[in-house]
Structures are given as C-alpha cells and as structure tokens.
C-alpha cells in the first residue's frame, strides 16, 4: 500500500466518481472514507472503491459501550476494509471489544486479512490549551496522546491516529511496529484551515510517520493527480 491516504471528504458517490476521474491508475491507492460520505452512501462507496482495487481506511471513530462497539466492529469487519478507527478515550475494554469483533468477523467469513484498528488519540483540530480546559486534564498534549496510545497498544489496536509531532514519543512507549498515521498534513503552500498541529509530508516521515492522511491539498487542488504525486515525492525525498 502507498503511504498516503486521500481523504474523500465529499457529499456523495457522484462527487467521488467525478474526483476519481483525475487518476488513471488506482491499483493499491489508499483513501480515507469518513462519516460524511459513509453516512450518505453506506456500502455503495466501499464497493465502488474496492472494485477499483483501492485500499480503504474507514474512519467512523467508534465510541460506545464495549458490547455495542464489538457488534459494530464485527459488521465493519465484514466489509473487508483495511482499517477502521475507534476513539482511544473509549478505554481498554472498548478497544479490546473492537478487536474481538473484527477477529470474529474474519473467522466467520473466512477472510484472509483481519481489518486493523487505528485508535484516535486527540483530534488534530485540538490545541493543547483547548484540550486542558475542556477535558479537564493537566497533561501536555504529547503526554496525553502517548497515554492514550499506550492504552490502545496494550489492548489490541494496530496503531493510532495522531499528529506527526507525537510519533517519536509514541514509538518509544509502544513499539516501532505500532503504526502512527498522521492527519493534519499540508503542502507548505497551503492554508492550515481548521487544523492546529500541522506538518508537511517530508517532515512527517522524518518524525517517524507510517502513513499520512491528506484531504484538501489534493481534493481542492486544480490538478489533484499532480498534487498527489507531489505529496508522494515529498514523502519519498531525503
């Protein structure tokens, strides 16, 4: 799989199909399917992308009591996507339940690969001050993110969603194999929009990123395919 996930932040399948016309080769491409498009199109968007041999990161951020999350993860596991997300703040039992649901789905449906879990730590739209004030914690952002990452790691998650600024500390406190996937990625010429903890692709990789999520820098570009290639090149550059 390629290390760049394109965030398909569109309203419906028609918009996605129009956007995908920008790419002549989609084999092994990776995309993020978020709440907006999945709630609009459901399985239709998944089937469309899988028919184009595209790898899918289904970002629904499960957060509920363990029993409910286990059942939800089981259903998502049946979709044969590569990754799903849960909120790390849901706690050890919830994360463990999500893993159990995915493993059971793979077993029941004889799937070659079990869908992996990425746990969301702190949203990249959050500043440290906002986190401390609204969540009533006195930890720094890196400390809080690492704390949540350790809970996820110890309870069956395969990685976390975090800012690239926290990659090194997370790997030091979990393992090098534990995935750090980073949103909040922009080309240096782009506006940061609603993201607070933002880096460019080259810096993300230097900070130990295993993958990056890029939305507007590609989807809003005049030439999306060229922007995608530029980001891949930035990622690969020394």
Question: Is 60 marked within a binding site?
Answer: yes
Q: Considering the entire predicted model, what is its pTM?
A: 0.93
Element (H, E) at 176: none
Q: What are phi and psi of 213, to 5 degrees?
A: -110, 120
What are the residue boundaries of the structural domains of the chain, listed by start?
4-236
Q: Which of 17, 43, 53, 59 is catalytic?
A: 59
Q: What is the mean pLDDT of the chain?
A: 94
Using CA atoms, how far apart are residues 173 and 176, in angstroms rounded to an integer?
A: 9
Q: Are the C-beta atoms of residues 6 and 218 closer than 8 Å to each other?
A: yes
- pLDDT at position 68, please? 99
Residue 116 backbone phi and psi in degrees, to 5: -90, 155
Confidence of residue 124 (pLDDT cuts 50, 70, 90): confident
Catalytic residue status for 53 = no
pLDDT at 35 over 70: yes
The Cα–Cα gap between 63 and 65 comes to 7
The pLDDT of residue 197 is above 60: no
128/233 Cα distance (integer angstroms): 31
Decide if pLDDT at 91 tops 70: yes
Catalytic residue among 21, 52, 53, 64: 64
- What's the confidence (pLDDT) of residue 193? 54
Say if residue 9 carries a ligand binding annotation.
yes
Question: Do the Cβ atoms of 105 and 73 come closer than 8 Å?
Answer: yes
Q: Is 32 annotated as a binding residue?
A: yes
Q: Is 197 annotated as a binding residue?
A: no
108 catalytic residue (yes or no): no
Are 88 and 95 within 8 A, CB to CB? yes
Selected catalytic residue, list 2, 52, 61, 99: 61
What are 146's two structure tokens?
């690492």
194 is catalytic: no
Q: Is 193 annotated as a binding residue?
A: no
Task: Let me know: does 57 contact 31? Beta carbons within 8 Å.
Answer: yes
- CATH number for the domain running over 4-236: 3.20.20.70
Residue 124 is labelled as binding a ligand: yes
């Amino acid at each position: 799989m390629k290390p760049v996930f394109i965030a398909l932040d569109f309203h419906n399948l028609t918009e996605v199909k129009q956007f995908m016309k920008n790419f002549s080769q989609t084999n092994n491409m990776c995309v993020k399917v978020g709440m907006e498009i999945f709630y609009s199109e459901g399985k239709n968007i998944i089937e469309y992308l899988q028919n184009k041999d595209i790898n899918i990161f289904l970002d629904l951020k499960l957060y509920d009591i363990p029993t409910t999350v286990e059942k939800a993860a089981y259903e998502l596991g049946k979709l044969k996507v590569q990754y799903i997300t849960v909120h790390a703040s849901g706690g050890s039992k919830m994360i463990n339940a999500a893993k159990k649901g995915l493993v059971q789905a793979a077993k029941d449906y004889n799937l070659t690969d079990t869908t992996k879990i990425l746990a969301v730590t702190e949203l990249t739209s959050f500043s440290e001050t906002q986190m401390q004030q609204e969540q009533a914690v006195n930890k720094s952002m890196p400390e809080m993110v690492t704390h949540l990452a350790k809970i996820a790691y110890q309870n069956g998650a395969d990685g976390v969603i975090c800012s690239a600024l926290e990659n090194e500390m997370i790997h030091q406190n979990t393992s090098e194999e534990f995935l750090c996937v980073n949103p909040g990625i922009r080309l240096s010429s782009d506006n940061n929009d609603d993201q607070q903890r933002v880096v460019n692709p080259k810096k993300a990789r230097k900070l130990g990123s295993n993958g990056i999520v890029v939305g507007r820098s590609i989807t809003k570009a005049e030439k999306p395919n060229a922007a995608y290639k530029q980001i891949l090149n930035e990622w690969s550059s020394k």
